[in-house]
Amino acid sequence: MTPTAASAAFDESAKTLAADAPFFIVMNAGSGRRQSDATRSVLERELGAVGRRFELRVVDDPRRLADVAREAAAAARKEGGVLVGAGGDGTLCTVAHAAHDAGCAFAVLPRGTFNYFSRDHGIPADLDRSTTLLLDARAFPVQVGFVNGRMFLVNASLGLYPRLLEDREIYKRQFGRSRLVALWSALSTMLKPHRHLRLHIDHEGSTTEIRSSTLFVGNNRLQMEQIGMPDEARALEQGLLVAIAPRPVGRLMHLWLSLHGAAGRLSDSDHVVSFTFEHITVTHPSKKRRLVKIATDGEIAKLQMPLEFRVSDKPLFLLKPEPAEAEANRS
């Protein structure tokens, strides 16, 4: 596969940070006060013990997360430091967006349920290990995607998938956060009535109309591998994104496709359309500038059509293990 212009632009060397670069850590308190206290304790033990300066900003109101992240990113850029996100993929994406805009290095302390972004880059889920990694890791360029002006690290979607996420949050509030609760919620949503979208997709000079319950755009190699799409996973390393759309099928077939994905066999199905791209524009056949629900890394927003999905022409510089170690850590 020929590298794209975007991937060629990412052929930059990893950056070694100054030995005294400070860390500006933004954490979403929605994960719980106990988790916030535990994170602070580990930071004081691992970073404080070696005299490394850090500042932890715990955000109690999720609506302020983006503003706090931008303030911390400005401080990191001014002082040659690192902006660190502590949380799940949604929190990490918001904080990463601020780092990307400010042009400062970014690091993560995984504190979520699935942690697709950190796992894909070989960052340990263990808080002690991921904190220790901050001290000597280099910053490597990694690919990010955008839909209109909204960044995503793992995936973006419209249609049924945002509904799955909304229902999952309801189940989590009732039964707690776990992968089993997320799976049960997904099965319940799949069995409810849903309508199919009619979309026009402009890609490389041609327009294709699709009917589907959802349009899913992936930017995570681990997630693509887990659902059984290895060729698409490799395309992500060439500066491309992956679009996936199930063909119009009934609820039971949707459930069957989901089980195929969970078993890592989605590419075996004839009921799924997929393609890779650098840039696509998605419109409704009526051409009306309507608002649609979009999910980016688990967070829901309303964006106005047309929707432009694209690979960013500027990488995010992420602190992560050296390539061989990162590959060994992926799980």
Domain span at residue 299 reads: 150-311
CATH number, domain with residue 54: 3.40.50.10330
Query: pLDDT by residue (tens digit) across 236-292?
Result: 999 999 999 887 655 545 544 454 445 455 655 567 889 999 999 999 887 677 899
What local confidence, expressed as pLDDT, does residue 163 receive?
Answer: 76
Cis peptide before 306 (omega within 30 of 0): yes
What local confidence, expressed as pLDDT, does residue 185 receive?
Answer: 64
Query: pLDDT by residue (tens digit) across 146-160?
Result: 999 999 999 999 988
User: Do residue 256 and residue 107 come from a single domain?
Assistant: no
User: Do residue 29 and residue 154 come from a single domain?
Assistant: no
Residue bearing the bigger pLDDT, 141 or 8 = 141
Strands (E), the chain: 23-28, 54-59, 82-87, 105-110, 138-142, 145-147, 150-152, 155-159, 197-203, 206-212, 214-218, 241-246, 272-277, 279-283, 291-296, 299-304, 307-311, 316-320
Query: pLDDT by residue (tens digit) across 21-66?
Result: 999 999 988 655 678 888 999 999 999 899 999 999 999 998 999 9
User: Do residue 61 and residue 164 come from a single domain?
Assistant: no
User: Do residue 200 and residue 289 come from a single domain?
Assistant: yes
Helix axes 160-175, 179-190, angle to 10 degrees: 130
Q: Write down the mean pLDDT value for the chain.
A: 85
Q: Structurally, how many domains does the chain consist of?
A: 2
Query: pLDDT by residue (tens digit) across 188-217?
Result: 666 566 677 899 999 999 999 998 888 999
